[in-house]
């Protein structure tokens, strides 16, 4: 496939139109040029950032993601109330005049599964639109050089493709796994090294200055003084995913150039979703772990010693992207295949959400509770509806039915659990509880177990 043919394929899913828009044409032209000349640096990009169609698309993406406001208190709703068009015209004027100054981000903390908290930086709505516009312009340049093993935050790629890749290599016999965790990745990226990476493709001085300003914008936490850092990208920023992918592309490229994935060498395959990565090989991998450590050290990063481990999938299991992987025998015990199910942590987090929503003391009506619960279930089952999740799905279904049943009986002020009266079909048909617990990707599970029904 030549560069032009590949360029024609690079189109965001939401833009698959019979008549490509000017924005699509812009992205495709940038992609093809970058694909055809990987070392080419783009000098004239800033004038495209404040184009009307670019800013409108940037606003559409920010609005779709919703989210709360930044330090100025402005929200999506307030922008719409006072007018989207004057909002975008004002932003375009500041960008064109090169007078736009990114404000600090608002710091909040999100609980993690291990009890700790993860920092999240929330830019203002205006800043999010500006970041989205720059991302729209520079993303094709980097997409053209990114490698196949990278799946996180990229157009037409996602976690399910990474999961399929892991399953494929396990079934090929690559059972030695380095389950790697980069310590505080988003907080440790050195700004100077990151800017040098971006400058390898972007030579437009104003784009580079703006990205540097976003990195240096600082953090306002709980109304306290602004703090600045020389490392890290704020989690929550629209521009952060493309910057982090561009930075870790160096790791992907080093792995490829070193020939570690070659069959004649280590036959070791690196699969990465942002900073979450695994390496699968058919040979004992302690040496490869050292290679990975050295590569990350050169990037100013390090592996987390307590969360990075080597696993033999024939004897144990490992988690990746919320799924648990291990090799098991099929029913006739003629071959082993990769079993893929929701991880125990993922199931526990869902049960905790269900338990919170269906707490009997909540002063919420049953229809409102069901309306709150259904999207949680829908999102979880859509994500984990691949592989061999039937047993896990049935356990979650029974748990959900039990919790909803008790909620209804409590609010009816009736004794007993209502097992025979409030059956699953009744909860689905009368109360509107989500009732679809089916596996979406049957072909994946069927192929993985060699066309036979698995026994586990």
Q: What is the pLDDT of residues 95-124, one digit of tens each?
A: 999 999 999 888 777 776 666 777 777 899
What pLDDT shows up at residue 246? 96
Confidence of residue 179 (pLDDT cuts 50, 70, 90): very high
pTM: 0.86
Higher pLDDT, 452 or 302: 302
- How large is the average pLDDT for residues 365-387? 94
**pLDDT at res. 446:** 41
Q: How far apart are CA 313 and CA 326, in angstroms?
A: 5
Q: Which two tokens stand for residue 152?
A: 């996180």
What is the distance between the alpha carbons of residues 70 and 62, in angstroms, rounded to a whole number? 13
Three-state SS for 37?
coil
192: confidence class by pLDDT, cuts 50, 70, 90: very high
Q: Which residue has the higher pLDDT, 416 or 333?
A: 333
With a cut of 90, say whether residue 23 has pLDDT above it. yes
Average pLDDT value for the chain: 87
Predicted pLDDT at 216: 87
Q: Beta 336-342 vs 176-181: how paired, if at all?
A: unpaired
Query: Residue 221: is its pLDDT beyond 70?
Result: no
Q: Is the pLDDT of residue 6 over 50?
A: no
**What does each C-alpha distance from 311 to 2, 163, 245, 328 come to in angstroms?**
39, 17, 26, 15
Residues 6+ apart with CB under 8 A from 73: none
Is the pLDDT at 358 greater than 70, yes or no?
A: yes
pLDDT in tens, 244-269: 999 999 999 999 999 999 988 889 99
Q: In sequence order, which residues have a C-beta less than 8 Å from that of residue 175 and are 6 or more positions away?
A: 280, 282, 312, 313, 314, 327
């Amino acid at each position: 496939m030549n560069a032009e043919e590949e360029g024609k394929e690079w189109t965001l899913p939401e833009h698959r139109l019979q008549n490509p828009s000017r924005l699509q044409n812009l992205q495709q032209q940038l992609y093809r040029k970058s694909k055809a000349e990987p070392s080419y640096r783009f000098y004239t990009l800033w004038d495209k950032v404040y184009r009307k169609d670019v800013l409108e698309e940037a606003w559409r993406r920010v609005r779709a993601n919703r989210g709360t406001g930044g330090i100025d208190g402005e929200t999506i709703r307030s922008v719409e109330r006072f007018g989207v068009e004057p909002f975008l015209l004002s932003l375009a004027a500041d960008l064109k005049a090169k007078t736009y100054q990114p404000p600090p981000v608002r710091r909040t903390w999100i609980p993690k599964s291990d009890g700790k908290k993860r920092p999240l930086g929330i830019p203002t709505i205006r800043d999010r639109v500006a970041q989205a516009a720059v991302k729209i312009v520079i993303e094709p340049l980097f997409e053209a050089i990114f490698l196949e093993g990278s799946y996180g935050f990229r157009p037409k790629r996602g976690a399910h493709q990474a999961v399929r890749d892991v399953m494929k290599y396990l079934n090929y016999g690559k059972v030695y796994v380095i389950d790697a965790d980069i310590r505080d990745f988003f907080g440790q990226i050195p700004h100077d090294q990151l800017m040098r990476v971006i400058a390898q493709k972007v030579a437009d001085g104003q784009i580079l200055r703006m990205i540097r300003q976003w990195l240096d914008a600082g953090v306002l936490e709980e109304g306290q003084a602004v703090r600045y850092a020389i490392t890290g990208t704020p989690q929550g920023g629209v521009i952060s995913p493309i910057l982090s992918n561009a930075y870790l592309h160096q790791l992907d490229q080093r792995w490829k150039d070193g020939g570690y994935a070659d069959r004649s060498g280590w036959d070791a395959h690196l699969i990465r979703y942002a900073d979450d990565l695994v390496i699968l090989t058919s040979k004992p991998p302690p040496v490869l772990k050292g290679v990975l450590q050295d590569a990350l050290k050169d990037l100013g990063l390090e592996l987390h010693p307590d969360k990075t481990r080597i696993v033999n999938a024939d004897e144990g299991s490992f988690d990746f992207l919320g799924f648990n992987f291990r090799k098991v025998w099929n029913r006739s015990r003629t071959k082993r295949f990769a079993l893929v199910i929701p991880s125990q942590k993922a199931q526990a987090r869902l049960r905790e959400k269900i338990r919170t929503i269906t707490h009997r003391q909540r002063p919420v009506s049953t229809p409102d509770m069901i309306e709150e619960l259904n999207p949680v279930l829908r999102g979880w089952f859509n994500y984990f509806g691949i592989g061999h999740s039937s047993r896990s799905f049935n356990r979650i279904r029974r748990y959900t039915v039990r919790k909803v049943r008790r909620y209804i009986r409590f609010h009816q002020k009736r004794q007993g659990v209502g097992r025979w009266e409030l059956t699953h079909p009744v909860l689905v048909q009368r109360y509107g509880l989500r009732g679809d617990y089916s596996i979406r990707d049957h072909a994946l599970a069927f192929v993985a177990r060699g066309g036979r029904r698995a026994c586990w």
